[in-house]
Amino acid sequence: MLMIKKIFLHCLFFIVLALTLSSCSCGSNTYSADIKPIQKTDKELSCKDIVMEINEAEFYKKAAEDRKKGRLEDFIFPYCYPAGYLNANKTEAQSESRLEYLNQIYELNDCATKAKFESKKMSPPPTSYQEIPPPPIK
């Protein structure tokens, strides 16, 4: 009986040790993107570039929100969930700051008015030809 108990405790120890060591690989399971709210090149962005930066920040924000939800890996390696959740919170907060700043630049550059002007300028010219009637049936 004592021998079975020893074997059981050794197996339990190795299982816990394996789970603990496998949780050290949380780096691949966590989502972290270092997003700086203000970047050096922001002053040189055109309206199109600002829109592309806004799309990128929204992508990172959505990815961070998705990471905060539980995944299968979080149940297999429960030690990784807190690290992933904290990194996702950080990334989400950084992307929100970036979005706020980019929206301010968008308004300051009056990009909304320029976009309307560009869309009017780029629209195809109205057709001035008349529709050709079908040939008469004989």
What is the count of structural domains for the chain? 1
Examine the pLDDT at 125 and tell me if it is beyond 50. Answer: no
Could you tell me if residue 9 is inside a domain? Answer: no
Residue 18 confidence class, pLDDT cut points 50, 70, 90? confident
Could you tell me if residue 93 is inside a domain? Answer: yes
Structure-token pair, residue 122: 């780029």
Q: Which domain holds residue 91?
A: 31-119
* Whole-angstrom distance, CA of residue 39 vs CA of residue 137: 70
pTM for this structure? 0.62
Tens digits of per-residue pLDDT, 48-83? 999 999 999 999 999 888 888 877 766 766 767 777
CB 37 within 8 A of CB 94: yes
